[in-house]
């Protein structure tokens, strides 16, 4: 009769270890062969599975054998007594230890990926997916017990095993899970052991089968220790680790993170959370917010923790919490706390479009007059901004951050009276200064964003894209400003006519809860994309959101671009009158600033197009006069003034095709591809000169970037006709019927086609004629079909 002595219940899986299978095959072939076998492996590697399989094999062959599992738990005398007088095969399984001479040693190592796949198939009864097998192998390290329990969802079965571990080994495993398993000095202090005693503890920890070869916990083992280890012992162990780290002035972030959600409280826990939050703030504002909050809940309600919590909340985009905490600090007894609260509240208000109140709070704080000056310029108070910059608050340290803020403010002040090139250079320099500055600093706006706005207002789109991309990659201003940088990148792409890229940037922030300023840019970006795609349904759908966003955002210098886009959309949707108050405030602001060309011409350019859409000739001429008055101020205002003059000439029906082509080319050179293509395209469909039409259509295609590159000296030949000549016979029939006032369904009935087919024909006609929308298409068709030479 066989003797199978096991200390734990045998596992439920089949034998999958290659070396174990080979041994079993040999025993099955020659079961009577004398055997003295020592099976050695850490816990969970399949020793019990092998012994159970050997037991079945010997029983079936009628061979008496002695099989002893967990022999390391027996004393030497007990083991010797069990094996005394045994004549048949003997197999002893134990965790790593010395093997007696004359015994065959079988060491079971971890499973390979293919073996894990076989284990998965055995446990689940289905073939294993290779990717899933590789993923399970990575998480389990190939340890059969870990892989099996993960497959069965039974990691909780580690609970009693962890409870039974001796205290030193358990504390070592907890320390390893908390990230301290490689810090020998910390482990010695935690376990109160000398360096010469630590290896024995580590060896016993390895024997559990939970460690990787580098003595770190395997991912599944870490989850088991974290979730199913004795909670009280885990909490006291991690808290002791934190105390040791704090006492030595060492980082505590990884350790404190593992205490989140455990209910830890008291002075040491609060200190650990606060120190960890300060570590996390430069790179992970969300984690820092949780840690500062945990410090407060653990009992630390100091001004430093409150300010840190508010700052982290703002950087992560939780402005409600930031404003609540910052506003509460305004009534503190000490001036330092009041100033910190004022700065936080001022930053939140800037993002919510309240620049006047933001400037007031920054000035009251007395530490960041540069931000106050920037906000004052945004509200039209240039003199107030200059006074602040000319008499800075004494005692403020000249840090890299303070230097960048001051340079940013001076760049914005100069943008009102200086030259665009100098302004851009100053703002780009401020952005570069801020890149290596300490992270975790709250900004009402970034030098990169203001530089990009300036570049958008001056036609320097490549510079705008570059500075924004660097700021986004460097996470300047945290998540809060990441949204602003992303939206401005969308605006740069849209302005350049790259609608697909603009839509990608818009989609990257879609669904987020946006503050007033970001909401304004997001909503008008959607509006602009719909307009440029001639999507009238999308334009109408986006209008209400954009209008509501503009009502929540106070009119300031830095939101003139979205206001201009809103003007054109309002003209197209018949709601232009609703914006009269906002435009009055915008022009009042510009008047107080002395009508600075850099900020004025882009707004007036948009207003010109709104007037054209409304067929308001007097307003259009007034806007043209304004643009012309600024034409001497640089290439960008000169190009807009020339293009505006061309637009009015085109709409008046008397224009020089060469002049229009030149004006559109200047827009294209500034990066305004969509505007350039549209000017040339509209001129093409409004000329009766066939040669001029071909010339302008070719120019429109080139400016839009759709013309294939030609070899030098090879003249362009239109692929098809232009004007009505570009239309097929069926398209001409469709066009005539629709121009006569028939609906698509009625026109289809006359031509014996469906209304949907008529709609498709009209879409192709619009593309061939370059019309921006249906109204423009019908006007163009009426004009072309009314000519004597219309076919």
Residue 684 CB-density burial (10 A; 0-12 exposed, 13-18 middle, 19+ buried): buried
| Confidence bin at 710 (pLDDT 50/70/90) | very low
Element (H, E) at 586: helix 580-592
| Confidence bin at 713 (pLDDT 50/70/90) | very low
* Cα 340–chain centre separation: 28
Share of residues in the chain with pLDDT > 70 (%) = 94
Token representation of residue 202:
């580590």
Q: Going by DSSP bridges, is the β-strand pair 3-5/66-68 parallel, antiparallel, or unpaired?
A: parallel
**What size, in residues, is the chain?**
791
Token representation of residue 530:
């719909």
DSSP secondary structure string for all residues of 241-255: HHHHHHHTT---HHH
Report pLDDT digits (tens) over 489-527: 999 999 998 999 999 999 999 989 899 999 999 999 999
pLDDT given for residue 13 in this prediction: 55
pLDDT given for residue 468 in this prediction: 93
Token representation of residue 151:
């497959």
Nearest to 371 by CA among 379, 361, 362, 384: 362
Contact yes or no for 653/647 (Cβ under 8 A)? no
With tokens 């020793």, the residue in question is 47
**C-alpha–C-alpha distance, residues 258 and 262, integer Å:** 8
pLDDT given for residue 435 in this prediction: 72
pLDDT given for residue 423 in this prediction: 86
| Confidence bin at 631 (pLDDT 50/70/90) | very high
Report pLDDT digits (tens) over 326-340: 999 998 888 889 999
> 125 vs 17, 45, 138, 402, CA distance in Å?
18, 21, 22, 66
Contact yes or no for 565/382 (Cβ under 8 A)? no
The phi-psi region of residue 495 (left if phi > 0; otherwise alpha if psi is between -120 and 50; otherwise beta) is: alpha
pLDDT given for residue 722 in this prediction: 53
**Sheet of strand 66-68: strand arrangement:** 3-5, 66-68, 90-94, 36-40, 104-107
Which range, of 102-111, 291-300, 387-396, 440-449, averages the lowest pLDDT? 387-396
pLDDT given for residue 128 in this prediction: 92
SS3 70: coil
Which range, of 528-542, 591-605, 614-628, averages the lowest pLDDT? 528-542
Residue 791: pLDDT above 60?
no
**C-alpha–C-alpha distance, residues 733 and 476, integer Å:** 58
Report pLDDT digits (tens) over 155-172: 999 999 999 999 999 999
| Confidence bin at 706 (pLDDT 50/70/90) | very low
DSSP secondary structure string for all residues of 512-570: S---HHHHHHHHHHHHHHHHHTT-HHHHHHHHHHHHHHHHHSPP-GGGHHHHHHHHHHH
Q: What angle do CA 454, 458, 464 make, to 5 degrees?
A: 55
Mean of per-residue pLDDT scores for the chain:
87
pLDDT given for residue 11 in this prediction: 47
Between helices 617-629 and 597-613, what is the axis angle to 10°?
A: 160
Report pLDDT digits (tens) over 638-667: 999 999 999 999 988 889 999 999 999 999
**C-alpha–C-alpha distance, residues 370 and 401, integer Å:** 11
**C-alpha–C-alpha distance, residues 681 and 691, integer Å:** 14
Nearest to 601 by CA among 570, 632, 646: 632
Nearest to 311 by CA among 479, 429, 517: 479
Residue 789: pLDDT above 80?
no
> Around Cβ 446, how many Cβ atoms within 10 Å?
25
Element (H, E) at 223: helix 219-228
**C-alpha–C-alpha distance, residues 718 and 740, integer Å:** 30
Contact yes or no for 96/43 (Cβ under 8 A)? no
SS3 574: coil
Please give the biggest Cα pair distance in the chain: 122
Residue 317: pLDDT above 90?
no
pLDDT given for residue 787 in this prediction: 62
> 555 vs 378, 570, 571, 575, 587, CA distance in Å?
9, 17, 19, 18, 10
- Within 8 A by CB and 6+ apart from 423, the residues are 411, 412, 414, 415, 454, 598
Element (H, E) at 170: helix 167-177
Contact yes or no for 286/321 (Cβ under 8 A)? no
Which range, of 191-205, 436-450, 503-517, 669-683, averages the lowest pLDDT? 436-450
Contact yes or no for 357/339 (Cβ under 8 A)? no
Which range, of 303-312, 618-627, 756-765, averages the lowest pLDDT? 756-765
Report pLDDT digits (tens) over 351-373: 998 999 999 999 988 877 899 99
Q: What secondary structure letter does DSSP report for 579?
A: G
| Confidence bin at 431 (pLDDT 50/70/90) | confident
Q: What secondary structure letter does DSSP report for 654?
A: -
pLDDT given for residue 708 in this prediction: 32
**C-alpha–C-alpha distance, residues 141 and 113, integer Å:** 10
Contact yes or no for 37/90 (Cβ under 8 A)? yes
> What is the Rg, in whole angstroms, of the alpha carbon atoms belonging to the chain?
38
Nearest to 69 by CA among 82, 85, 88, 86: 82
pLDDT given for residue 662 in this prediction: 93
Report pLDDT digits (tens) over 532-564: 888 878 888 899 999 999 999 999 999 999 999
> Around Cβ 700, how many Cβ atoms within 10 Å?
24
> Around Cβ 577, how many Cβ atoms within 10 Å?
9
Share of residues in the chain with pLDDT > 90 (%) = 52
Report pLDDT digits (tens) over 397-408: 677 888 888 999
717/556: higher pLDDT? 556
> Around Cβ 744, how many Cβ atoms within 10 Å?
20
Q: What sign has the CA pseudo-torsion 566, 572, 577, 583? A: positive
């Amino acid at each position: 009769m066989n003797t199978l002595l096991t200390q734990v219940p045998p596992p439920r899986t089949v034998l999958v270890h290659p070396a174990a299978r080979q041994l079993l095959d040999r025993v099955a072939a020659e079961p009577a062969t004398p055997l003295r076998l020592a099976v050695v492996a850490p816990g969970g590697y399949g020793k019990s599975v092998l012994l159970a399989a050997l037991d079945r094999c010997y029983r079936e062959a009628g061979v008496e054998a002695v099989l002893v599992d967990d022999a390391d738990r027996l004393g030497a005398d007990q083991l010797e007594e069990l094996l005394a007088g045994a004549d048949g095969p003997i197999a002893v399984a134990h965790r790593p230890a010395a093997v007696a001479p004359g015994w065959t040693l079988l060491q079971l190592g971890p499973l390979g990926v293919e073996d894990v796949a076989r284990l998965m198939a055995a446990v689940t009864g289905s073939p294993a997916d290779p990717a899933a097998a590789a993923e399970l192998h990575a998480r389990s390290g190939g340890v059969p017990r870990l892989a099996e329990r993960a497959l069965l969802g039974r990691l909780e079965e580690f609970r009693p095993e962890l409870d039974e571990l001796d205290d030193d080994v358990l504390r070592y495993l907890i320390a390893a899970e908390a990230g301290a398993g490689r810090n020998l000095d910390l482990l010695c202090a935690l376990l109160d052991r000398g360096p010469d005693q630590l290896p024995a503890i580590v060896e016993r920890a390895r024997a559990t089968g939970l460690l990787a070869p580098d003595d770190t916990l395997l991912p599944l083992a870490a989850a088991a220790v974290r979730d199913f280890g004795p909670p009280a012992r885990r909490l006291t162990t991690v808290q002791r680790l934190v105390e040791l780290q704090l006492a030595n002035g060492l980082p505590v972030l990884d350790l404190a993170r593992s205490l989140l959600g455990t209910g830890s409280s008291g002075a040491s826990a609060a200190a650990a959370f606060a120190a960890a939050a300060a570590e996390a703030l430069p790179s992970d504002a969300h984690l820092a917010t949780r840690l500062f909050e945990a410090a407060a809940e653990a009992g630390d309600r100091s001004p430093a923790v409150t300010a840190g919590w508010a700052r982290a909340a703002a950087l992560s985009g939780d402005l409600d919490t930031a404003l609540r905490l910052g506003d509460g600090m305004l009534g503190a007894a000490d001036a330092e706390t009041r100033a910190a609260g004022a700065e936080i509240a001022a930053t939140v208000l800037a993002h919510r479009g309240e620049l006047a109140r933001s400037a007031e709070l920054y000035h009251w704080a007395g530490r960041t007059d540069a931000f106050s000056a920037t906000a004052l310029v945004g509200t039209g108070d240039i003199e107030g901004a200059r006074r602040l910059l000319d008499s800075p608050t004494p005692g403020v340290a000249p840090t890299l951050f303070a230097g960048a803020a001051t340079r940013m403010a001076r760049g914005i002040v100069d943008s009102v009276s200086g030259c665009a090139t100098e302004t851009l250079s100053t703002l780009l320099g401020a952005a570069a200064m801020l890149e290596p500055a300490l992270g975790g600093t709250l900004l009402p706006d970034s030098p990169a964003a203001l530089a990009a706005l300036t570049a958008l207002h001056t036609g320097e789109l490549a510079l705008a894209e570059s500075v924004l991309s660097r700021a986004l990659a460097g996470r300047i201003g945290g998540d809060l400003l990441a949204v602003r940088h992303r939206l401005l990148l969308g605006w740069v792409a849209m302005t350049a006519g790259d609608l697909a890229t603009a839509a990608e940037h818009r989609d990257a922030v879609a669904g987020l809860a946006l503050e007033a300023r970001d909401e304004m840019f997001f909503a008008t970006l959607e509006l602009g994309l719909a307009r440029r795609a001639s999507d009238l349904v999308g334009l109408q759908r986006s209008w209400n959101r954009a209008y509501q966003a503009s009502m929540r955002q106070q009119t300031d210098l830095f939101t003139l671009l979205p206001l201009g886009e809103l003007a054109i959309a309002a003209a197209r949707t018949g709601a232009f009158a609703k914006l009269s108050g906002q435009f009055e405030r915008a022009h009042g602001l510009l008047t107080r600033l002395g009508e600075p060309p850099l900020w004025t011409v882009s707004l007036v350019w948009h207003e010109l197009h709104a007037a054209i859409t409304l067929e308001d000739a007097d307003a259009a001429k007034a806007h043209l006069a304004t643009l012309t008055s600024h034409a001497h101020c640089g290439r960008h205002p000169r190009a807009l003034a020339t293009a505006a003059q061309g637009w009015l000439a085109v709409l008046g029906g008397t224009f020089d095709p060469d002049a229009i082509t030149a004006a559109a080319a200047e827009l294209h050179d500034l990066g305004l591809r969509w505007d350039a293509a549209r000017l040339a395209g509209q001129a093409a469909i409004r000329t009766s000169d066939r040669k001029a039409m071909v010339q302008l259509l070719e120019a429109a295609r080139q400016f839009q970037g759709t013309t294939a590159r030609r070899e030098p000296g090879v003249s362009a030949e239109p692929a098809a006709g232009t004007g009505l000549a570009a239309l097929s016979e069926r398209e001409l029939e469709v066009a005539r019927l629709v121009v006569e006032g028939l609906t698509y369904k009625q026109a289809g009935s006359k031509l014996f086609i469906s209304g949907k087919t008529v709609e498709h024909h009209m879409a192709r006609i619009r593309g061939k004629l370059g019309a921006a929308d249906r109204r423009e298409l019908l006007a163009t068709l009426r004009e072309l079909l009314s000519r004597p030479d219309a076919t």
